[in-house]
Chain A
Amino acid sequence: MLSADMNMPFATFFKKRWQNWLNRRIPPVREVTLNQRRIFIFLSRQGGMASLVLVALFVGGINYANNLLLGLCFFLGALFVIVIHHTYANLSGLRITAIAARPAFAGEDAAFILRFDDARGREHESLLIEWEGSTLPVEWVQGATEVTVPLPTQRRGWYRPSRLRLSSLYPVGFIRAWTWLDMDMAAIVYPHPEASELMPVGAGTDGEGETRRTRGQDDFEGLKGFTPGDPLAHVSWKHLARGQGMLTKHYAGEEAQSDVLDWNALPGLPIETRLSRLTWWVLTLSQQGRTYGLRLPGHELPLDSGLDHRDECLRVLALFGRERS
């Protein structure tokens, strides 16, 4: 551990230098066409094996004074040279466009959608995408080809994967051509949904939201900003008179009827657990086609229903405390 700690600065130093260099050479963009600036090329592991055969043939040819063995050795060498060009040509001219990054729940895979095509209409064979530990072969790029790469997520918030490596061993595997691409894509990762018995609405409701309480002073729960449609009777004139703006009084019974999922209804739980439960409830209510709202410290989503509303809620939950600057 100690040595690892001591090495860390060096490792990070070089990693950072490498990343900086890559960023200068292949800056993050949403559309990139591969050219000689962006393509790296070197012997593959298989190519290493083939070069051992090349050396063996050379030694054999020299020692047995056998011109044909030497000829085959030269052939293999020539094949290497030819293959460099073919492998390079297989990546060169390829255009990669970031299409979309689909959201996911933490722990699940987020789908990153890329489009491959070639402005000059050339075909590209057998590419391999290696991205954040997942590998995905792209068999054939002919015309525009869309590829969905599922990348595993861990925590909620914005997920911006590191660079992807796009490589090719075509045609015979001796040479690998590759590039490191930052497609400037980020997926939103929702909290991992966690089921709970009690719907977190208002403060201390006990039912599944079925309980209907009569509105009363005792059930006064708090104030919130006036939104058009609130009954005028609930406006806190006292606050208005003090110049604190138009606030409306809210009552617990009201929450139970309209299902505003509330951060404060989950007291004492860790932040992530609260978010996970709220997420589950958003999904559950949305699935039941019900109308619901969401209240988080600093965020208030009014009652609504539908997929857009659900996604908006999930987005707020995902980014709670993690807003991208």
Chain B
Amino acid sequence: MGTVHVRYWQLAAFLLAILPQYDRLPSWLLAGVVLSCVWRLPSVERRIGLPGTIVRILLLLAGLAGVYTSHNTLLGPEGGVSFLILAAALKLLESRNARDIFVLGILDFFLLATAFLFSQSLLLTIYVAVALVGIVGALLVQQQRQGVGLRRTVWRAFVLVGQAVPLMMILFVFFPRLPPIWTLNLTQSTGKTGMSDTISPGDIARLGQSSEPAFRVEFEGEAPPTRELYWRGLVLSRFDGKTWTQGNEVPVEWGGGVPDGSIVNQDDTLQSVNYRITLEATDKPWLFALAIPRSNTREVGITRDFRLLKRTPVFSRFSYDVTSYTNDPMDSAGLSAWTHRENLSLPANANEQTKAQARRWRALMGSDARFVSYVLEWFRKEPFYYTLEPPPLGENRIDQFLFKTRRGFCEHYASSFVFMLRAAGIPARVVVGYQGGEKSPLGDYWQIRQMDAHAWTEVWLPGRGWVGYDPTAAVAPERIERGAQGLANDASYWGDSGLSVMRYGNYKLFRQARQMMDYVNYRWQKSVLGYDTEDQTSLMRRLVGDTSLLKQLGIMVSLLAVLGISLLLWALYGQRRREHPVDRLYRRYCERMARSGLVRAAGEGPHDFASRVAVSQPKEAERAMQIAKVYGALRYREDAPDTPVMIRRLKRLTRGRG
């Protein structure tokens, strides 16, 4: 113990354990980890020795201050992991005896596990499995004799891990999932790609170039056509001339109910579509759904403006079931005074040209509905272009866009459309979410990506309630018909910059591979990460047609017992060392003699046995003596002469049937 060999394993296991965390760690801590590993390299340690107690205490205090400064806390996942890594690095600097080394090994295991707090991807899981072999190897070298080669050690660690995996799977499938013991939240990790609750110029364009998945949808039965897939996420009704934000706080109905503005409860002939959405972590509470949604999933509520909301932010992937009543009118009975007011307000003294034009046209058209159609027609006919790289806009951006640049994407069209309607006295609002999606050719699901992010509008018309209009569809109907992902196959979508040609090429090249990856990820998410009590019950129903917890535990225990007993048998009787070829020949010979009635007694020497054979079977005497002699020479003499020749001779002798 304490050999160079053990040290290298120890350092390797430590690095394997913290590698997944490296980009989350403050850089000073990363440097500290590397430094302490280098310090423990035998060649370095021999020269400068280990730090004394005082130095270690100073390092600890400095490290604690550093962790606190970097994370503002020592608790929570991120601060906690940094703290643990700091502790492990310091432990590394003082580990002297076998127990210290073991403690570090088991700490490595824990550190490795914490990576799953931040990511649960398949790739990370594969990495963890490999790293586990390394950590088990580091524990193993402490216990096994020195001088076991690297390959042998890795193989032994691999066998241990490999044997544990089937047991782990049984536990994973059958061990009852308990509700949380106490509730806790991961700290808001920033930098997630996705919607924010405001839309400023350029927000959606940024998303538009990201092919990261936003959510997946599994429809029960036929999916509606792509052009009808408007996944509502946020309703924005406040505009300050540049940025759209959410309006007043709206009441939320929890527990599968419907808000007042819906007529679901009065009319059961409404069309409905059922689906399940699996949302990637957004760190935000809002959920996406088709209008008008209703969900019985725990923790999910519906707002007064017909959006789904989760009680707590979505810090890890979250699945929820939705029933959408696609032709249920929203607020058809009328708007409250304050909602009406809110959805008409515009910033004063800006974009006066647009306001004037809107009022003029409204006066000409006679009705709200006709005015709306006219504006859409205008978008269609005038030279408006859809592009993700629009020219920059300054003050009076709506005026500039509508009458000058005329190049933009959904955000510009939705924003100016709502502006014009409000100016004409029609309540309207911007809705943000995703549009369309891509049906997976492999799995029975739809993939919605960040590039499907979209902004459109809802207009309140008397008697009909809020009606969705998408001015972008008027300008670039293919964007809506085919979806952004379909559009992405056209070179023009990517803009004119030099990089875009490359991007377009890459896009096509990796599309196929990406779809495969998506499918694998989807299965991973659905069958492993999302495996829950419901899945357990349905599995139990399929297996035994019963969902009792007792039976579930019974199946688990009996499967474990079967595996355990086979392991026990292996431990007791298996693992037989390879028999020496000479012994095998002699054993076979004895077995043959036994069949002819002469059983060699336990512990009877070959020569004694041969004499017995000679007495009872004189015909065999010569051969028996020869065999005993050759066997004895091969097995009991150190300097067996001419071994291969002798073995061949023994083979001939034992095989021959006299």
Name A residues whose Cβ lies closer than 8 Å to a Cβ of B: 36, 45-46, 49-50, 53, 56-57, 59-60, 62-72, 74-79, 81-83, 85-86, 88-89, 92, 120-123, 125-126, 139-140, 169-173
Interface residues in B166-206 by Cβ distance below 8 A to A read 166-168, 171-172, 175, 177-184, 186
Contacting pair B577 A171 (CB below 8 A): no
> Which chain A residue lies CB-closest to B570?
A85
A56 vs B528: C-alpha distance in the bound complex, in angstroms? 21
Interface residues in B92-122 by Cβ distance below 8 A to A read 99, 102-103, 106, 109-110, 112-113, 116-117, 120
A217 vs B495: C-alpha distance in the bound complex, in angstroms? 136
* B595 touches A (CB below 8 Å): no
Contacting pair A72 B567 (CB below 8 A): no
A64 vs B164: C-alpha distance in the bound complex, in angstroms? 24
* B645 touches A (CB below 8 Å): no
How far is the CB of B536 from the nearest CB of chain A, in Å? 12
Between A and B, 7 residue pairs with Cβ closer than 8 Å are A49-B103, A60-B117, A64-B316, A66-B116, A71-B172, A81-B167, A81-B560
Binds A, one of B143-151, B226-234, B401-409: B143-151
Q: Which residues of chain A are near B136, meaning CB under 8 Å?
A: 79, 172
How far is the CB of B81 from the nearest CB of chain A, in Å? 12
A53 vs B120: C-alpha distance in the bound complex, in angstroms? 20
Q: Which residues of chain A are near B163, meaning CB under 8 Å?
A: 82
Contacting pair B144 A72 (CB below 8 A): no
How far is the CB of B404 from the nearest CB of chain A, in Å? 52
> Which chain B residue lies CB-closest to A172?
B139
* B520 touches A (CB below 8 Å): no
How far is the CB of A270 from the nearest CB of chain B, in Å? 45
**A66 is contacted by which of B99, B103, B117, B172 (Cβ under 8 Å)?**
B117
Name B residues whose Cβ lies closer than 8 Å to a Cβ of A: 99, 102-103, 106, 109-110, 112-113, 116-117, 120, 125, 128, 132, 136, 139-140, 142-146, 156, 160-161, 163-168, 171-172, 175, 177-184, 186, 316, 528-531, 560, 564, 567-568, 570-572, 575-577, 579-580
Contacting pair A66 B316 (CB below 8 A): yes
Q: Which residues of chain A are near B186, meaning CB under 8 Å?
A: 64
Contacting pair A68 B577 (CB below 8 A): no
Contacting pair A62 B128 (CB below 8 A): no
Most-contacted residue by chain B among A53, A59, A121, A172 (CB, 10 A): A172
Q: Which residues of chain B are near A88, meaning CB under 8 Å?
A: 571
> Which chain A residue lies CB-closest to B566?
A85
Given known A66-B316, A122-B576, contact A60–B146 (CB-CB < 8 A) = no
**A125 is contacted by which of B145, B528, B575 (Cβ under 8 Å)?**
B145
Given known A75-B165, A82-B167, contact A67–B531 (CB-CB < 8 A) = yes
Contacting pair A62 B178 (CB below 8 A): yes
**A75 is contacted by which of B99, B168, B567 (Cβ under 8 Å)?**
B168
Contacting pair B140 A89 (CB below 8 A): no
Given known A75-B165, A82-B160, A92-B572, contact A68–B116 (CB-CB < 8 A) = yes
Q: Which residues of chain B are near A172, meaning CB under 8 Å?
A: 136, 139-140, 143, 160
Q: Which residues of chain B are near A36, meaning CB under 8 Å?
A: 572
Q: Which residues of chain A are near B128, meaning CB under 8 Å?
A: 68, 72
Q: Which residues of chain B are near A72, meaning CB under 8 Å?
A: 109, 112-113, 116, 128
Query: 7 closest Cβ contacts across the A-B interface?
Result: A78-B167, A74-B171, A89-B571, A78-B164, A172-B139, A139-B145, A121-B577
Contacting pair B120 A66 (CB below 8 A): yes
A83 vs B166: C-alpha distance in the bound complex, in angstroms? 14
Q: Which residues of chain A are near B181, meaning CB under 8 Å?
A: 59, 62-63
> Which chain B residue lies CB-closest to A127?
B145
A167 vs B26: C-alpha distance in the bound complex, in angstroms? 44
**A171 is contacted by which of B117, B140, B180, B579 (Cβ under 8 Å)?**
B140
A49 vs B100: C-alpha distance in the bound complex, in angstroms? 12
Contacting pair A139 B146 (CB below 8 A): yes
Given known A78-B164, A79-B164, contact A68–B120 (CB-CB < 8 A) = yes
**A53 is contacted by which of B110, B529, B530, B570 (Cβ under 8 Å)?**
B110
A198 vs B632: C-alpha distance in the bound complex, in angstroms? 59
Seed contacts A63-B180, A68-B116; 15 additional CB < 8 Å A-B pairs: A50-B109, A53-B109, A60-B117, A63-B182, A66-B120, A71-B168, A74-B168, A81-B567, A89-B571, A92-B572, A122-B575, A126-B145, A172-B139, A173-B142, A173-B143
Q: Which residues of chain A are near B167, meaning CB under 8 Å?
A: 74, 77-78, 81-82
A280 vs B245: C-alpha distance in the bound complex, in angstroms? 104
A138 vs B572: C-alpha distance in the bound complex, in angstroms? 22
How many interface contacts (CB-CB < 8 Å) are there between A and B?
150
Main secondary structure of the interface of B (DSSP, over half): helix
How far is the CB of B519 from the nearest CB of chain A, in Å? 20
Given known A67-B528, A139-B145, A173-B143, contact A78–B168 (CB-CB < 8 A) = yes
A140 vs B339: C-alpha distance in the bound complex, in angstroms? 83
A69 vs B139: C-alpha distance in the bound complex, in angstroms? 21
> Which chain B residue lies CB-closest to A46?
B102
How far is the CB of A146 from the nearest CB of chain B, in Å? 17
How far is the CB of A59 from the nearest CB of chain B, in Å? 6
Q: Which residues of chain A are near B570, meaning CB under 8 Å?
A: 85, 89
A81 vs B117: C-alpha distance in the bound complex, in angstroms? 26
Contacting pair B144 A57 (CB below 8 A): no
**A79 is contacted by which of B160, B177, B183, B528 (Cβ under 8 Å)?**
B160
How far is the CB of B167 from the nearest CB of chain A, in Å? 3
Contacting pair B529 A86 (CB below 8 A): no
Contacting pair B144 A125 (CB below 8 A): yes
A78 vs B165: C-alpha distance in the bound complex, in angstroms? 7
> Which chain A residue lies CB-closest to B178?
A62
Given known A86-B571, A170-B143, contact A68–B99 (CB-CB < 8 A) = no
Given known A74-B168, A92-B571, contact A68–B529 (CB-CB < 8 A) = yes
A50 vs B109: C-alpha distance in the bound complex, in angstroms? 9
A183 vs B142: C-alpha distance in the bound complex, in angstroms? 29
Contacting pair B571 A67 (CB below 8 A): no
Q: Which residues of chain B are near A63, meaning CB under 8 Å?
A: 180-184
Contacting pair B143 A169 (CB below 8 A): yes
How far is the CB of A45 from the nearest CB of chain B, in Å? 8
**B160 is contacted by which of A60, A70, A140, A171 (Cβ under 8 Å)?**
A171
Q: Which residues of chain A are near B132, meaning CB under 8 Å?
A: 75
Contacting pair B171 A46 (CB below 8 A): no
Q: Which residues of chain A are near B580, meaning CB under 8 Å?
A: 121
How far is the CB of A157 from the nearest CB of chain B, in Å? 37
> Which chain B residue lies CB-closest to A45?
B99
A78 vs B162: C-alpha distance in the bound complex, in angstroms? 10
> Which chain A residue lies CB-closest to B574?
A89
A140 vs B577: C-alpha distance in the bound complex, in angstroms? 15
> Which chain A residue lies CB-closest to B77?
A64
A52 vs B571: C-alpha distance in the bound complex, in angstroms? 27
Q: Which residues of chain B are near A82, meaning CB under 8 Å?
A: 160, 163-164, 167, 567
Q: Which residues of chain B are near A64, meaning CB under 8 Å?
A: 117, 180, 184, 186, 316
How far is the CB of B239 from the nearest CB of chain A, in Å? 39
A68 vs B172: C-alpha distance in the bound complex, in angstroms? 9
A72 vs B132: C-alpha distance in the bound complex, in angstroms? 10
**A122 is contacted by which of B110, B316, B577 (Cβ under 8 Å)?**
B577
A73 vs B103: C-alpha distance in the bound complex, in angstroms? 17
A45 vs B106: C-alpha distance in the bound complex, in angstroms? 12
Given known A88-B571, A171-B156, contact A49–B180 (CB-CB < 8 A) = no
A123 vs B152: C-alpha distance in the bound complex, in angstroms? 14
Q: Which residues of chain B are near A139, meaning CB under 8 Å?
A: 145-146
> Which chain A residue lies CB-closest to B185?
A64
Q: Which residues of chain A are near B140, meaning CB under 8 Å?
A: 171-172
A92 vs B568: C-alpha distance in the bound complex, in angstroms? 11
Most-contacted residue by chain B among A70, A75, A86, A139 (CB, 10 A): A75
Contacting pair B99 A57 (CB below 8 A): no
How far is the CB of A120 from the nearest CB of chain B, in Å? 6
A169 vs B98: C-alpha distance in the bound complex, in angstroms? 12
How far is the CB of A117 from the nearest CB of chain B, in Å? 12
Q: Which residues of chain B are near A67, meaning CB under 8 Å?
A: 120, 172, 528-531
Contacting pair B143 A126 (CB below 8 A): yes
**A49 is contacted by which of B106, B112, B116, B529 (Cβ under 8 Å)?**
B106
> Which chain A residue lies CB-closest to B162?
A82
